[in-house]
Amino acid sequence: MIKLRDVISILALVSATLLPSADARPQESDPEQSARIAEFENGLRPPYGVAGEEPEVWSLEERMQHYNVPGVSIAVAIDGELVWARGYGVRDSESGGAVDTDTLFQAASLSKPVAALAALALVQDEVLALDQPANAFLTRWHIPDNEFTAQQPVTIRHLLSHRGGTTIHGFRGYPLGAGLPSLPQILAGTEPANTEPVIVTQLPGESYRYSGGGYTILQLAIEDASGRSFADVVEGRIFHPAGMARSHFRYPVGDANAAIGHAGPESASMSDEQLAYPELAAAGMWTTPSELVRLGSLVARSRNTEHFFLDQGLARQLVPDNAGEPGLGFGLNNDGDGVAFVHSGHNPGYSARWINYADGRASVAVLTNSDSGGDLIREILSAIGHIYGWKQDAHEVRETIAPGAAAMQAIAGQYGWSSEDDDPFLTISIVDGELWVDGAVVDRARLHAQSGTRYFVTKGLNFEAELDVAGKVTAIIVQDEIRLVPLG
């Protein structure tokens, strides 16, 4: 008798015969695309611009040096086709080696939507079920029961959408060569795990809370339910059918053409301090931008026209029509030109971003081998969106107002997590009639006013002043998440 877990391998082989070849190379001989590449390479710009002012524009080389990013790899797909891919810089600042389009990078949290795809493929195969308790599929460890799980058990859907109420935002990795903990040890927080136990501390389904711990539970559920390793399931159900020959979850990477991470303020090479991530679903993927944009394009095709990894019903739960709905793995945005499914990633030494339009018009992936790559990625995507006319992650020109002397005096000051903090987390000052901001979240920059309470810096940060009835600033909210109060 054929068991459900055996269906996984059979379906993977069938799917591989149905997909178009992955051997097509980007059409960089196209004069239009060549011109756009050249425009991009000399047209990086900040995420936000000020109406009436010319934006700063830089070359990619200048900004790689500015942010101390040794290597970058980029791919762009349009209407499901890879139109260009380029590698820039070096794999390692110490040993060199040029980055090319086949160079592997740690993709960090970009692993999560790939894990979500694998989980949904098993849902389709009836190996997992979205709305049954996750504990029903776990054998080597179980989510501990408490007052929250008694009201609502954690389901696979909760884990996929970061609504399981589970703890542990992210993972720190383990030195290569060290004894790696098992998944049950990681989840239980027992040696040699270097993180606390994963537990439920809020009602499952109640609200969003990003959780790498939840995705590690998902990884264990995939393994326990299928009887196979997580890496094998992803390879059989996602990588192989999609033609992603370079991507994998192996440690050590075992590939001479892999980028070495660079960490810290000086972007120091981690060649002797490389890290492994047994929390594969949360952080452990190695991949290339070209393979990511191919996968993103296939996900869009699955939800719109054809059955590839998933039937259309599941694909539209993964990426709904409305960006306000939860989705099952990707973040969802709509900046005014349609739903996009996106994800960012950061491991020590690596930064990444992957954006895809749900209608399939475009997919872009950028991978870097530096902690400081996130700031560079924002400027890269700002330029690419500006050139191609997309709004997702693109350069945005904003109207501003002159806040007036009273408003500037009201917001100027030092801010911290608590009014009793000794050192400010953020300082807003008035210099020559202009507002400036400096602190842990942003290097010194001009603070522009959009209204009496909304402010921004062109680097891409947004601030909101919280006012009392007398107009006194009682808090500054950074990126709608960080609440800072006046000191003293």
Helix (H/G/I), strand (E/B), else coil: 323 = coil
Instruction: Output the DSSP codes for 435-482.
Output: EEEEESSS-SEEPEESSSSEEEETTTEEEEEEE-TTS-EEEEEETTTE
Show me where the domains of the chain are located.
4-23+101-396, 405-486
Each residue's pLDDT tens digit, 131-190? 999 999 999 999 999 999 999 999 999 999 999 999 999 999 999 988 999 999 999 999
Question: What average pLDDT does the structure give for the chain?
Answer: 92
What is the pLDDT at residue 13?
37
Q: Is the peptide bond prior to 192 cis by the omega test (within 30 degrees of 0)? A: yes
Type of residue numbered 151: Q
In whole angstroms, give the CA distance from residue 334 to residue 166: 27
Type of residue found at 74: I
The mean pLDDT value for 266-280 works out to 95
Q: Is 271 exposed, middle or buried (0-12, 13-18, 19+ CB in 10 A)?
A: middle
**Which amino acid type is present at position 55?**
P
Q: Is 61 helix (H, G, I), strand (E, B) or coil?
A: helix
Kindly report whether the peptide bond that precedes residue 252 is cis, defined as omega within 30 degrees of 0.
Answer: yes
Residues across the chain: 488
Architecture of the domain spanning 4-23+101-396: 3-Layer(aba) Sandwich (3.40)
| Whole-number CA gyration radius for the chain | 23
Contact in structure between 375 and 357 (CB atoms under 8 Å): no
Distance (Å, rounded) from C-alpha 356 to C-alpha 293?
8
DSSP string, 142-191: -PPP-HHHHHS--BHHHHHTT-S-B-------EETTSPPPPHHHHHHT-T
Residue 46's contacts (CB-CB under 8 Å, 6 or more residues apart) are: 55, 56, 378, 379, 382, 395, 458, 459, 460
The answer to whether the beta carbons of residues 456 and 462 sit under 8 Å apart is yes
**What confidence tier does 237 reach under pLDDT thresholds 50, 70, 90?**
very high
pLDDT in tens, 92-135: 999 999 999 999 999 999 999 999 999 999 999 999 999 999 99
Rounded to the nearest 5°, which phi and psi values hold at 468? -90, 180
Q: What is the pTM of this model?
A: 0.90
- Give how far Cα 108 sits from Cα of 35, 208, 275, 401, 458, Å: 32, 20, 11, 39, 27
Share of the chain above pLDDT 70, in %: 94
Strands in 413-416's sheet, in edge-to-edge order, are 445-446, 434-439, 426-431, 413-416, 482-486, 473-478, 461-467, 454-457, 448-449
CA distance 58 to 41: 8
- Determine the straight-line distance between the first and last CA of the chain, rounded to whole angstroms: 73
Across the range 359-378, mean pLDDT stands at: 96
Residue 281 phi, psi dihedral angles, 5° rounding: -65, -30
Does the domain spanning 405-486 belong to CATH 2.40.128.50? yes
SS3 at position 145: coil
Rounded-to-integer distance, Cα 125 and Cα 120, Å: 9
Two tokens at 130? 């979205």
Q: Averaging pLDDT over each range in 177-181, 330-334, 477-481, which range is the top one?
A: 330-334
**How much is the average pLDDT of 285-299?**
97
CA 473 – CA 18 distance, rounded (Å): 60
pLDDT grade, residue 17 (50/70/90)?
very low
Token representation of residue 247: 């991507």
Q: Which amino acid is at 165?
A: G
- Residue 16 pLDDT exceeds 50: no
- Look at residue 55 in the predicted model and tell me its pLDDT: 84
- Of 25-39, 47-61, 156-170, 451-465, the least confident: 25-39
Tokens representing 290? 């070209």
Phi, psi of 390 (to 5 degrees): -95, 155
Confidence band for 337, pLDDT divided at 50, 70 and 90: very high
Q: Name the nearest CA neighbour of 219 among 169, 280, 173.
A: 280
Query: Average pLDDT, stretch 29-43?
Result: 91
Q: What is the mean pLDDT of residues 216-225?
A: 98
3-state secondary structure of 229: coil
Does the pLDDT value for residue 29 go beyond 70?
A: no
Predicted pLDDT at 185: 98
- CA nearest neighbour of 216 among 112, 126, 326: 112
Render pLDDT for 446-478 as a digit per residue (tens, 0 to 9): 999 999 999 999 999 999 999 999 889 999 999
Decide if 397 contacts 49 (C-beta within 8 A): yes
Between 9 and 465, residue with greater pLDDT = 465
pLDDT of residue 20: 35
Query: Is 28 a residue whose pLDDT tops 90?
Result: no
Please, are residues 437 and 426 in contact by the beta-carbon 8 Å criterion? yes
339-355 tens-digit pLDDT: 999 999 999 999 999 99
User: What digits encode the pLDDT tens for the residues 400-413?
Assistant: 999 999 999 999 99
